[in-house]
């Protein structure tokens, strides 16, 4: 909590602050001075820090002001008491009482939020299950494709080896063909010469 400068407060707000701070100072010790017949000087007004010091501990670090209230537990207990009951410790409290209707509204809203969170978690669970099933299906399809590709590649390799073996057999079987072709050419030449003699 930063302590505002005097120039940042408008005149009407400054009057209200001065009246409230004067009431705090009177409650904290100025009342005792008035009861003893002493009056505060007219120009003297309690600042925000001095008024807070009457109600608790003020710690300043640069422009940062920290405030710890006295009797904090008592103030919390007083804030939780029903509105019709007087405070147990006596004296006034600036902390308002908690409205039971507001608490019921908060409980109802908390129940709605919990129901919505449960529904959201169920939807997320269903979505994750669907995504998991889809992922499993994709992985199984990929596995089947890889296995089929492996089998097809194995069959192709075996067929290629069989074709190479058949080609080697055909090559061995075709070895007499050149000699036979030479004999056929020789026979053809002989026939041509005989045909020339017959003419």
Residue 172 belongs to some domain of the structure: yes
Task: Please state, as a whole number, how many other Cβ atoms lie within 10 Å of the Cβ of residue 174.
Answer: 9
Q: Is residue 126 part of a domain?
A: yes
Q: Residue 104 domain-assigned?
A: yes
Q: Is residue 162 part of a domain?
A: yes
What is the residue range of 110's domain? Answer: 100-178
Q: Which two tokens stand for residue 34?
A: 């008035």
**Digitized pLDDT (tens) for each residue of the chain, 199 residues in all:** 444 444 443 444 444 444 444 454 444 444 434 433 344 443 333 466 666 677 778 788 887 877 777 777 777 777 766 555 555 544 455 667 777 888 888 999 999 999 999 999 999 999 999 999 999 999 999 999 999 999 999 999 999 999 999 999 999 988 888 888 899 999 998 888 888 888 7
Nearest of 69, 17, 22, 65 to residue 46 by alpha carbon:
22
Residue 121, domain member (yes or no): yes
Residue 130 lies in a domain: yes
In a domain, 152, yes or no: yes
Domain count, the chain: 1
Within 10 Å of residue 179's Cβ, how many Cβ atoms? 9
- Please check whether residue 143 lies inside any domain of the structure: yes
């Amino acid at each position: 909590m930063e302590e505002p400068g005097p120039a940042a407060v408008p005149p009407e707000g400054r009057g209200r602050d001065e009246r409230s701070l004067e009431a705090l100072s009177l409650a904290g010790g100025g009342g005792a001075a008035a009861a003893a017949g002493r009056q505060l000087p007219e120009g003297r007004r309690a600042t925000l820090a001095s008024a807070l010091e009457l109600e608790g501990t003020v710690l300043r670090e640069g422009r940062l002001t920290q405030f710890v209230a006295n009797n904090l537990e008592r103030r919390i207990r007083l804030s939780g008491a029903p509105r019709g009951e007087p405070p147990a410790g006596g004296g006034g409290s600036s902390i308002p009482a908690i409205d039971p209707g507001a608490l019921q509204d908060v409980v109802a809203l908390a129940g709605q939020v919990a129901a919505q969170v449960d529904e959201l978690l169920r939807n997320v669970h269903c979505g994750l299950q669907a995504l998991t099933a889809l992922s499993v299906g994709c992985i199984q399809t990929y596995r089947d494709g890889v296995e089929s590709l492996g089998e097809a590649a194995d069959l192709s390799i075996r067929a290629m080896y069989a074709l190479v073996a058949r080609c080697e057999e055909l090559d061995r079987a075709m070895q007499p063909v050149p000699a036979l072709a030479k004999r056929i050419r020789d026979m053809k030449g002989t026939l041509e010469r005989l045909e020339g003699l017959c003419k």
